[in-house]
Structure 1
Amino acid sequence: MIDISERAQQHFRKLLSQQGGDGLGIRLRVVDAGTPAANCELEFCEPVDLSGREWTIECVGFNFYVDGDSARWLEAATIDYEPNATGGQLNIRAPGIKGKQPGADAGLVERVQYVLEAEINPRLASHGGRVSLREIDADGVVLLQFGGGCHGCGMADVTLKQGVEKTLRERVPEVTAVRDATDHATGATPYYDGKQGQSALG
């Protein structure tokens, strides 16, 4: 599944020896898998930290664990360590981590979800917000839930109309309208309390 070079294994052994403790290993997981924002995260882990769903790669002197939900995104991945004048650089290459943009023959939900995760949420993240898909009705009306800094934000309606709806309708022609299903009165940490500021997608 993953090819870990000898140089990378040597680098991991050095890091683990600095941490001390028996049975300490390295765990890899993918965050935001299948989207342009996908990334790999490495962490030290002890046996008690494992869920039992990890894939185990036995290396010389330590175990390397791959998060079970991340495994399918790491097919043909490689990990290498390249020494340089300032120390070195660990390189993880995972060609399938970002997934593929759904084609025109993909389902409406899949294409809308991709645009939300690939384009809209990364931009909303600058204001600590995000949107999630609730449903799409037979007429192509998309119902969204705002969260984070967008929940209760005074500019959420502007963001919805001028940013989210515009982007979705451009990328997915079957979308006829976008509606907000959020109860903004319950927002705990809105980015803007009142009708001031600008859209998070502006």
Structure 2
Amino acid sequence: MIQISEAAQTHFRKLIEREAIPGLGVRLAANDPGTPRADVRLEFAESAELAGDEWAIDCEGFTLWLDAASVPYLDGAEIDYATQATGGQLQIRAPKIKGSAPGETASLVERVRWLIEQEINPQLAQHRGHVSLQEVTADGVVVLRFGGGCHGCGMADVTLKQGIEKTLMEKVPGVTAVRDATDHATGSAPYLPQRGAA
């Protein structure tokens, strides 16, 4: 499941011994797993701080605790400690942390949500914006809500029709249209103010 090198175990053991807290271990979790923002969180934890559903990996002199919800995303992860001229560096590789595209048998909602998180929102983030999926109707209409810099933006219609709708209809079979459920008049920090707006 997770490979933790001897060098990494030695590094953790030294740090834990320095703390001198009985039962202190290392907890590993995935932040925002399955998204482009996914990252690994590594921290020391006492047994009283654990949720109780963590997976335990016995290491030499300590326990590595895996957050239960993060397990599928951390499967195959490698933890190593490399000594360099300027000191040491902990290296964590988690190839599954950003998730994998849903297969053809996945629901339309899963396939739409994946494309929004992996492709559409990273592009909108360049303008401080994002969209969230409100629903996918039985006839394949995707209903979205704009947020951030896209909420109230004068270019939201163009973004929706020429960007988001085009992308979803090309890449997710079954999507028939995309609609915006956002009340853009309430946007407080649009990327581009609407014409006539103060």
TM range (shorter): 0.7 to 0.9
Deviation of the 1:15 alpha carbon = 4.0
Q: Distance in 2 between matches of 1:187 and 1:16?
A: 49
Structure 2 unmatched runs, 5+: none
* Partner AA of 1:11 in structure 2: H
With normalisation by structure 1, the TM-score equals 0.79
SS of alignment partner, residue 138 of structure 2: coil
Aligned alpha-carbon RMSD (Å)? 2.6
Output one character per residue of 1:40-85: Cα deviation in whole Å (capped at 9) or x when no partner.
Answer: 2223334443222222223334332211110122223221112222
State how 1:1-80 maps to structure 2 within 5 Å: 1-16=1-16, 20=19, 22=21, 23-80=23-80
Matched residues in 2 for 1:13 and 1:153: separation? 52
Please say if 1:195 is aligned against 2:168. Answer: no
Cα distance in structure 2, aligned partners of 1:94 and 1:184: 39
Alignment match, 1:130: 130
For 1:199, the equivalent position in structure 2 comes to: none
Alpha-carbon shift at residue 103 of structure 1 (Å):
3.2
Provide structure 1 residue ranges, at least 5 long, that are not aligned to the other structure.
197-202
Q: Contact (CA 8 Å) 1:37, 1:118: kept in 2 or not? A: no
The amino acid across from 2:136 in the alignment is I
What amino acid does structure 1 have at the position aligned with 2:81? Y
* Alignment-mate amino acid for residue 172 of structure 2: V
1:24-173 map, 5 Å = 24-173=24-173
State the number of aligned residues: 194
Cα 1:129/1:61, change in 2 over 3 Å:
farther
Percent of pairs identical after alignment? 62
Tell me, in whole angstroms, the C-alpha distance in 1 between the residues paired with 2:15 and 2:154.
Answer: 47
CA distance in structure 2 between the partners assigned to 1:44 and 1:149 by the alignment? 37
**2:128·2:191 contact (CA, 8 Å) conserved in 1?**
no
**Equivalent residue, structure 2, for 1:177:** 177
Tell me the TM-score normalised to structure 2 length. Answer: 0.81
Amino acid at match of 2:57: I
What SS is found at the alignment partner of 1:69? helix
Would you identify which runs of 4 or more consecutive aligned residues in structure 1 move more than 6 Å?
Answer: none
CA contact (8 A) 1:127 1:191 kept: no
Bigger mean CA deviation after superposition, 3-12 or 29-38: 29-38
